[in-house]
Structure 1
């Protein structure tokens, strides 16, 4: 942080570097506003990297009559697929029918609405399928229904929005914790601690955005010293990752006897990701973890359906996140709306405060547009909506991913095909930044593991705000699931020399 910037009056300070904060920072910066984004830990280090990795309309939300949310989310799937084709892909989902649960007519009606509520030009429509021929399922499971949604690397969706915001002029800072925010004569004075250096500083802005996710209410209590206008419910969602249960490209959505659903999703080519659970949560969202009961629940649901059985010893990774949902008074975590609510507070000469309650990964872009609509009167010279048709960094494809993979191997023939594919899947056209001034493999620097070179780590530190080992292993990449402890220690030692 340059000290001379501390006296500059910003238009907007955003607190919280999850998907909503990152999306608003990118949108506002693209409209020509002076924006700063502060995240207490790493970008996407909480809820936004602990999702089911889906951009979906929410088929089950139809049961609760959330038609507006479903319609908006269905349309957003294809918009984000076009914006970020490197980290988003269309995926076919199959829902095995179990007659003692939701009746077939209800599923058909739901899928008809799913096909027609939102704009759809890329993703295929739904139809009934014969599951018996696959041999994957137990004998009583023969009929299923197939439909489309999208898979996304959630943490990279966040970081691409952060990069986008920075490229459009925003200041973006992870490991910078807001400790106080005070309205002084209509201007926000925000006190911040840089967790990496210990330095305290103050930034000023016309508008403050509270995008702290699970901490949105706590931010009012502890940093604004006032009462939150809304309550939230914290709902824990947990996932386990096991060696792949089947070799098909399909994801499966399993109906359980308690009417909850569990996804079984192809993950990183070699694994199946299983989740989620919906469990009410109390406590520090940073300390959330998968419980034994949740693990047993997910295993039992899978084993009730598939011929191939799994057990605890198969789990190679697990994770858990806390979703902050608007409290609508219901007792069931499954029936709490996933819709978002924006609350703008601005009285007389007070500085405006916009707070984000709820929301889901799929609708982050529309939420950001809605946030800017709420703030439009304070910035009459700002530009208009722009994010629908602009690619996210690395997503400016002029050809297919397959052709990009061939191009990168043509430029660097010593690169193995799996590494080239990983680079394109994670970075898209940004991958060529890793190869700046690289002519042969030795130019990639220290070799840590197959396809893992120092040059990639240098890129992540310089361009993607990596400061700690977990930032690199679990959010910018998913190499943590593949590397040995010794390899991780070697990377950690290298990073200490570079940061």
Structure 2
């Protein structure tokens, strides 16, 4: 069966065509903008640049969103903690972006979620209530209609009705407020596909190994390595933007010199437990001695995290240790009536936050600094953006492109506040047609909600695939939260190159099922292999690589410290190893 024809499709073939376009650049005919890093900031920057009419390319050394942007708390929020710092403008900015995503840009991907802020003592209610009231007021100042309900107060009895699993003596009441939740990897993929739909070149598994300079010392391109073939080539660009998060300093070093931003990595981990293990109709936000702990309702399970510890090891593969997991369990159990155990955990993930350090390195021109992110230029032609958070990716992208363009920016202003992401346009119409799809294919209300959340109005593309091949309308035998069509669609349209891309980032199977997808791997490999033309040897290699990965991660979770866990994790063979740069 042939793939659906769509200008938004990302396939191994479109990746090769994009690589060829990059190889065809010359000093006389360069790209306008080359973006390094395929996380949320890089993807947002690609969309910002291409919708200004700039010839744009984005490269990522691994899969899209393979780093921090698939390992977050999956929240789109204003940042209550910044109110304690009296940083009202920063909170207002984040709340404005939150509501823009929900109201216009990605209403299918970003959804309101209620949280309870438990009150330990009655005297906390006035000042915590005042802070949350201010949070709501700042949100109300955002343009357009209000995206979230106002907060409300709960006494002990109504709090217990909202969250029956909260221990009776854990709080005297609570304040309920709203923020947003998002599938972070899906947001990055959708941003990238939206950029591609406007003409951007997108190349995953493509690593920058050198930044090139003109005789005058201006960065004018990069030497790239296709990690799938080993081919190395030069791409020419007027502007190069580094959005590599915790890899910022390593990428800066390729330009030579000592300028740039200073970024440290901090590890945060999350655990996943089944939804029926905790009874509650809202999430929880809890203060701990080291960080904020969220108990977040998500689909069929709860996400609980996070930690905040320095990370000084391999940047590609942070892992949750036994100590990390026990920390999260202990703090969650402090407020839960029925304590969780290790046996309740069906999945974990660990991510690295890029913590921007004060100041910039000597010789750096800094354009814009906020508490959250900084844009700087360590070399002419080379722009670096670091810090920030998922919620404000669009603002960061706009700042990065503005700074790269310099005086040109006024003639090419950002328009991304008016660019809905793929799946947003026509969402209401497809939502109205969902009942007919349910009847046609026998999909439950839960399945329809799942599909609309992931694809928005592009659910019609899933339906079209199922119409051509009815077997695709069936759930996966051993991962029945997903249709076979979703795996087929990922392989044909969502830039899949390897099996792990599907298991980690196109779906969340790696941490949604206690076996991390072992039972489903044969069926998924069959669908992906057929779509991508894999022979039996390639299919066996892909399965072996994924199984090695999950075995290593499970073993690492038994270790007590980061050094020991890293040693165990790195035993797994990489499917497309990155080149280690000096």
Q: What's the TM-score once normalised by structure 2's chain length?
A: 0.78
How far did residue 4 of structure 1 move?
Answer: 5.8
From 352, 372, 376, the counterpart of 1:343 = 376
Contact 1:56/1:77 (8 A) holds in 2: yes
Does the CA contact (< 8 Å) of 1:414 and 1:440 recur in 2? no
Aligned to 2:66: 45
Q: Which residue of 2 aligns with 1:430?
A: 458
Query: Does residue 320 in structure 1 map to residue 353 in structure 2?
Result: no
Correspondent of 2:185 among 155, 176, 184 = 155
- Secondary structure in structure 2 of the residue aligned to 1:388: helix
CA–CA separation in structure 1 for the residues paired with 2:482 and 2:131: 45
Separation in 1, partners of 2:371, 2:344? 32
* Residues 90-113 of structure 1, C-alpha deviations (whole Å, 9 max, x = no match): 11111101239x943331232122
Query: What is the aligned partner in structure 2 of residue 27 from structure 1?
Result: 48
The match for 1:304 among 330, 334, 357 is 334
- Counterparts in 2 of 1:424-463, with a 5 A limit? 424-436=452-464, 438-439=466-467, 442=470, 444=472, 448-449=476-477, 450=480, 452=482, 454-463=484-493
Determine if the alignment matches structure 1 residue 373 to structure 2 residue 398.
no
Map residues 3-152 of structure 1 onto 2, 5 A cutoff.
3=20, 5-8=22-25, 9-82=30-103, 83-99=105-121, 103-118=124-139, 119=141, 121-133=146-158, 134=160, 135-140=164-169, 141-152=171-182
Call closer, same or farther: CA 1:17–1:472 in 2, change over 3 Å: same
User: In 2, Cα distance between the equivalents of 1:495 and 1:356?
Assistant: 35
Q: Secondary structure at the match of 2:464?
A: coil
Specify the alignment match of 1:390 in structure 2: 419
Question: How many aligned positions are there?
Answer: 483
Q: CA deviation at 1:205?
A: 0.2
Q: Secondary structure at the match of 2:62?
A: coil
Q: Where does residue 200 of structure 2 map in the other structure?
A: 170
* Partner SS, residue 316 of structure 2: helix
Q: How does 1:144-293 map to 2 (within 5 A)?
A: 144-185=174-215, 186=218, 188-221=220-253, 223-244=254-275, 245-256=277-288, 258=289, 260-268=291-299, 270-293=300-323
SS of the residue corresponding to residue 168 of structure 2 reads: coil
- Which residue in 2 is equivalent to 1:413? 441
The answer (yes or no) to whether the contact 1:285–1:321 under 8 Å persists in 2 is no
The answer for the alignment partner of 1:360 in structure 2 is 389
Normalised TM-score (structure 1): 0.90
Deviation at 1:318, TM superposition (A): 0.3
Q: Given the superposition, is the C-alpha separation of residues 136 and 436 from structure 1 closer, same or farther in structure 2, using an over 3 Å criterion?
A: closer
Q: Distance in 1 between matches of 2:292 and 2:99?
A: 24
Say if 2:38 and 2:64, in contact at 8 Å, map to a contact too: yes
- Superposed CA offset, 1:167-225 (max 9, x none): 0110001111111111124462311111122222211100000101100011122x223
Match of 1:332 in 2: none
1:492 aligned onto 2:525 = yes
Q: Is the 8 A contact 2:272 2:348 kept in 1?
A: yes
Residue aligned with 1:485, SS: coil
Query: Displacement of 1:232 after TM fit?
Result: 1.6
For structure 1, which segment, 163-172 or 470-479, has the greater mean C-alpha deviation from structure 2 after superposition? Answer: 470-479
Q: 1:437 to 1:67 in 2, by over 3 A?
A: closer
Q: Secondary structure at the match of 1:285?
A: coil
Counterpart contact for 1:434–1:455, Cα < 8 Å: yes
CA contact (8 A) 2:430 2:459 kept: no
> Could you tell me how far apart the structure 1 residues matched to 2:445 and 2:466 are?
18
Listed as ranges, the gaps of 5+ residues in structure 1 are 330-336
How far off is 1:58 after superposition?
Answer: 0.8
1:399-428 deviation digits (Å, cap 9, x = unpaired): 277535324325x33344433332211111
Change over 3 Å in CA distance of 1:201–1:95 after alignment to 2? same
Give the distance between the partners of 1:138 and 1:415, measured in 2 at CA.
37
**Structure 1 CA distance, aligned partners of 2:356 and 2:310?**
13
Task: State the alpha-carbon separation in 1 of the partners of residues 494 and 468 from structure 2.
Answer: 24
Q: Deviations over 1:118-143 (max 9, x none)?
A: 33512122232124342432232221
Distance 1:279 1:64, change over 3 A: farther
Q: Is the 8 A contact 1:231 1:327 kept in 2?
A: yes
